[in-house]
Amino acid sequence: MCSVGDGFGVDIQDVLEPKNYECNDCGNKFQGIGKKVTCPACQSNSVKLA
Ligand SMILES: [Zn+2]
């Protein structure tokens, strides 16, 4: 019993939660997931949290 412990301390919720971004180049507003987010309209990685 109890052989399956809580060995997985991964914060999955923090990674999969989409956030609102705004592109600095074209002003497009979109949702992105993860740390490396690029604009879907112009493929720029110069984005900021909206
Ligand atoms: Zn853009």
Nearest to 30 by CA among 17, 45, 19: 19
Whole-number pLDDT of residue 49: 95
**The pTM is what?**
0.66
Indicate whether 28 pLDDT > 80.
Answer: yes
Phi-psi region of 40 (alpha: psi -120 to 50; beta: other; left: phi over 0): alpha
- Residues 5-19 pLDDT 10s: 666 665 555 567 899
How many Å apart are CA 34 and CA 28, to the nearest integer?
Answer: 18
Whole-number pLDDT of residue 5: 65
Task: Give 44 Cα–ligand 1 centroid separation in angstroms.
Answer: 5
Task: Give 16 Cα–ligand 1 centroid separation in angstroms.
Answer: 22
Whole-number pLDDT of residue 34: 87
Task: Give 22 Cα–ligand 1 centroid separation in angstroms.
Answer: 8
Task: Give 42 Cα–ligand 1 centroid separation in angstroms.
Answer: 4
